[in-house]
Structure 1
Amino acid sequence: MLAGRRYRLELTAEQTARCEEFANVCRAVWNTGLEQRREYRRRGAWMNYAPQCKELAEAKREHLWLKAAPSHILQQTLKDLDRACREIGTFKVRWRSQARWPPSFRFPDAQQIQVERLGSRRGRVKLPKLGWVRFRWSRPLGGEIRSATVSRKSGRWFVSFLVDDQVATPKRHAMPATAVGIDRGVRFAAVTSDGDFHDRAFIRPGEAGRYRRLQQKLSRTHRGSANRAKTRGRMNKITGRVTDRRRDFCAQTADRLVRKYALVVLEDLRIKNMSASASGSLAEPGRQVRQKAGLNRAILDKGWHRLELALTSAARYTGTSVVKVNPAYTSQRCSACGFVTEGNRESQAVFVCKAPDCGHREHADVNAGKNIKAAGLAVSACGDLGAGRSVKQEPVGRVTGRTPHQGIPALQGGEDVKGTVIPWPPPRP
């Protein structure tokens, strides 16, 4: 199956300048291609990958600065744009801002990529128009290289190899009779139905203090100034370390769970909607904005979606099935008797069943995990049920595990649209 291997690059000053130039050209191609697609859609026509790629080749004859970047990374940029427009819609795709977009570009041709190991801690890779680039050999490749992506994060450049490790997903888990339900929360990142609490602090107190001071300093700087860029760079270093810790925590937690359980059940949470700003709410705009902002930060800090992705990726190596169920009433239902009422949950951590003949008391997150597990077992027994079914009749969910990781699909370009020609050559970055 396909997997990623990420390494930190050790670029020279000349190679760093070339990477910046490649990223700027790719960003200009993306933005111009997106504007062209939107203009065609406004006229009721379509623009796809094939005609844009043809126009790009013609534009390179007139605009020599487009030739600074390898042709296939520009074509890959148009492929990524085509895929994004097909998946979420042309007018929902975001622009790539020079200030906010982390520079990146992909080399899709494995025949033009050569990797050599120089020692126990060093290696080098040969990339088109970059030459031999050294990187830290932090882990073995473990497979045949399919593509390479160069990106910048927190002021450092990295290379990510897509490799085929020749590993097949097991047809059966080592412990097929095991199952667990996971409740994701803001107090603990993940709580299992077996009573295990998975959580850690991703930012240290000293880093939090420095970040607040940098935010205050940033508010006093002028837009476009050198001091503002330096302050942003220091802030990015802190957030980069926080992101790395969160990614490491999710990967380790997911690995432990999929090795231990054959079935992992999650709530089907709409995290994007849950973390939306209260200031833009249509129901009661502008009310409890500060409280909602704090809740949004807590949700995003725990990395709910990243944990879900890590579970789905790790499940491929153990044969674990990842099931998502309807989250309705999982925090209010008693796992012992099934009695549902809003008053069962007395606080964030205390759950006490209000049924006259029950009185079950347990940690609220553990109780929710048990309800999630029960719903997942019902889904596994009955199959994938429709999303419109009521949770009072049957638990609702869908199986998302044991899905092979897919690379970038081959995109088919549509026919060109006749009419007024939209200028293709993008402005020089």
Structure 2
Amino acid sequence: MRLPKFGPVRFRWTRPLGGAIRNATVSRDGGRWYISFCVEDGEAEAAANGKPPVGVDRGVAVAVATSDGGLDEREFVTAGEAARLKRLQQRLSRSLRVHGRTRGSKRRDATRAQLGRLNARIRARRADFAAQTAVRLVREHGMVAVEDLRIKNMTASAKGSVEQPGRNVRQKAGLNRAILAKRWGGFLLKLEHAARYHGAKIEKVNPAYTSQTCNACKHVASESRKSQAVFRCVACGHQDHADVNAAKNILAAGLAVTGRGDLAAGPSVKRQPPERLAA
């Protein structure tokens, strides 16, 4: 492979390309260098597989919950890895305070390398989970309904400004880290990519009130969510796992959108009723 300003570079193939090369990207992760190729395989999208639909709820405690009752409470960082991450980050922070940000240090470089390798292993584990789960869902279902979440807005900082400081900043920062750790966006990308080859359709639906709506009677109440895992409707008494109940609502919304042919609509927004003009 010939790279600009570097010349010929040797690399090891991991799989056949299977198409015409359009571009290449060189990246470094965990101290290792990778090259990825974007190819045009010439394959058309697979025909609809005709399999039953499913709703998917992405969560923090439960990574993926499906409308058929499936729960995947996956943790990507073990307790030992979390403790090691904390130790390495503390060691790196102390080295910065001792040596200053402009001075070099072999020990600091070694700590950064260890931290990079550990984070790369965790990222690879998350990517592997996203890819395997996505392929399983599109192989077994013809339509996968997911919430059209605005992850960037959901993980924005709550610190506010000097004039208007935020509240519960530390709690919000912890929630942001937990959301980003589950790779919601990466999982959706894997779903959309895998669906192209397995005859499935990915339907994005409005996420409003999916966790507060009873799937049995459609009553909406925040009090029905008794805890992170328990949903008990205050109107009809229907009880279910909270994430599975949300996934069923997502599936119903996806079927409603598909039924009316509103497939090209963008992300839903909550609309306010028009103001009445004074007579």
The answer for the alignment partner of 1:141 in structure 2 is 17
Query: What is the aligned counterpart of 1:211 among 85, 91, 99?
Result: 85
Q: Which amino acid aligns with 1:144?
A: A
Q: Is 1:254 paired with 2:124?
A: no
- The SS at the match of 2:15 is coil
Asked if the contact 2:18–2:41 (Cα under 8 Å) also holds between the matched residues in 1, the reply is yes
Structure 2 Cα separation of the partners of residues 281 and 241 of structure 1: 36
TM-score, normalisation: structure 1: 0.58
Query: What is the aligned counterpart of 1:360 among 212, 227, 238?
Result: 238
Q: Is 1:185 paired with 2:185?
A: no
Q: Which amino acid aligns with 1:175?
A: G
Q: Which amino acid aligns with 1:184?
A: R
The answer for the alignment partner of 2:152 in structure 1 is 272
1:175/1:282 Cα in 2 relative to 1: closer, same or farther (>3 Å)?
Answer: farther
Uncovered stretches (5+) of structure 1, i.e. residues with no partner: 1-124, 392-429
Structure 2 Cα separation of the partners of residues 325 and 283 of structure 1: 37
Structure 2 Cα separation of the partners of residues 366 and 350 of structure 1: 10
Give a deviation string over 1:160-182, Cα, whole Å, max 9, x none: 11122232102x32225x11111
- The SS at the match of 1:217 is helix
The answer for the alignment partner of 2:277 in structure 1 is none
Q: Which amino acid aligns with 2:142?
A: A
Query: What is the aligned counterpart of 1:157 among 24, 33, 36?
Result: 33
The answer for the alignment partner of 1:374 in structure 2 is 252
- The SS at the match of 1:346 is coil
- The SS at the match of 2:10 is strand
Give a deviation string over 1:45-69, Cα, whole Å, max 9, x none: xxxxxxxxxxxxxxxxxxxxxxxxx
- The SS at the match of 2:77 is coil
The answer for the alignment partner of 2:275 in structure 1 is none
Asked if the contact 1:198–1:253 (Cα under 8 Å) also holds between the matched residues in 2, the reply is no
Structure 2 Cα separation of the partners of residues 390 and 151 of structure 1: 43
The answer for the alignment partner of 1:174 in structure 2 is 49
Question: How far did 1:230 drift?
Answer: 2.9
* Counterpart mapping for 1:282-297 below 5 A: 285-297=165-177
Structure 2 Cα separation of the partners of residues 133 and 351 of structure 1: 56
Give a deviation string over 1:55-84, Cα, whole Å, max 9, x none: xxxxxxxxxxxxxxxxxxxxxxxxxxxxxx
Of stretches 216-225 and 288-297 in structure 1, the one that deviates more from structure 2 is: 216-225
Question: How far did 1:218 drift?
Answer: 1.3
Question: How far did 1:372 drift?
Answer: 0.5
Give a deviation string over 1:238-270, Cα, whole Å, max 9, x none: 111111111111011110111111111111111
Question: How far did 1:390 drift?
Answer: 5.7
The answer for the alignment partner of 2:74 in structure 1 is 200
1:141/1:199 Cα in 2 relative to 1: closer, same or farther (>3 Å)?
Answer: farther
Structure 1 Cα separation of the partners of residues 89 and 54 of structure 2: 41
- The SS at the match of 1:133 is coil
Asked if the contact 1:182–1:191 (Cα under 8 Å) also holds between the matched residues in 2, the reply is yes
Question: How far did 1:281 drift?
Answer: 6.9
Q: Is 1:316 paired with 2:191?
A: no
Structure 1 Cα separation of the partners of residues 163 and 191 of structure 2: 35
Question: How far did 1:363 drift?
Answer: 0.2
Structure 2 Cα separation of the partners of residues 283 and 309 of structure 1: 39
Structure 2 Cα separation of the partners of residues 266 and 241 of structure 1: 28
Structure 1 Cα separation of the partners of residues 206 and 66 of structure 2: 17
Asked if the contact 1:254–1:310 (Cα under 8 Å) also holds between the matched residues in 2, the reply is yes
TM-score, normalisation: structure 2: 0.87
- The SS at the match of 2:68 is coil
- The SS at the match of 2:23 is strand
Q: Which amino acid aligns with 1:173?
A: A
Asked if the contact 1:217–1:231 (Cα under 8 Å) also holds between the matched residues in 2, the reply is yes
How many residues align? The count is 263
Give a deviation string over 1:294-317, Cα, whole Å, max 9, x none: 111110111111111111111111
Q: Which of the two has higher C-alpha Rg?
A: 1
Question: How far did 1:389 drift?
Answer: 6.8
CA-atom RMSD, angstroms?
A: 2.3
1:199/1:346 Cα in 2 relative to 1: closer, same or farther (>3 Å)?
Answer: closer
Question: How far did 1:132 drift?
Answer: 4.6
Asked if the contact 2:49–2:200 (Cα under 8 Å) also holds between the matched residues in 1, the reply is no
Asked if the contact 1:175–1:260 (Cα under 8 Å) also holds between the matched residues in 2, the reply is no
Structure 2 Cα separation of the partners of residues 388 and 204 of structure 1: 38
